[in-house]
Amino acid sequence: MAEERALKPGPDGPDPRHQVDELRRRIDEMDESLVRLLSARAACALEVGRVKKLLGLEIYQPSREADVLSHVQRVNPGPLNDASIKRLFERIIDEARRLEREAEVENTGDERTREG
């Protein structure tokens, strides 16, 4: 009951339930934007993988991964800390690498390139 009373709109402010709904709507919009951006990033990574194959380069390039992780931590404005940003991008990079390997298997039929 105390929580219900605390959520009732006061004479000076908006309805907190409406605020929560509006914030959730904004989060949904941001999630949709993130999905579009991640998909665009993945498509770009696939193209990088295609070019690397033409050049005879390995898919996994630790120095490039270190550069990306350093960059995203450097541009991080917060509130997520740098360690959180690093973990998120490690996962994004892992998924991009997996896509590159899957594309290689599809293009060559070489099952040995598939991750286990």
Q: Is the pTM of the predicted complex or chain greater than 0.85?
A: no
In a domain, 108, yes or no: yes
In a domain, 34, yes or no: yes
In a domain, 87, yes or no: yes
Question: What distance in Å separates the CA atoms of residue 68 and residue 39, rounded to the nearest whole number?
Answer: 17
- Counting the structural domains of the chain, the total is 1
In a domain, 8, yes or no: no
In a domain, 53, yes or no: yes
- State the DSSP H helix or E strand holding residue 84, giving kind and residue range, or none if neither: helix 82-108
Amino acid at the residue 94: D
Contacts of 105 (CB under 8 A, 6+ apart): 111, 113, 114
In a domain, 43, yes or no: yes
For the chain, list residues with pLDDT below 70. 1-12, 109-116
Question: What distance in Å separates the CA atoms of residue 82 and residue 75, rounded to the nearest whole number?
Answer: 9
Question: What distance in Å separates the CA atoms of residue 17 and residue 13, rounded to the nearest whole number?
Answer: 12
In a domain, 77, yes or no: yes
Residue numbers of the domain that contains 62: 17-113
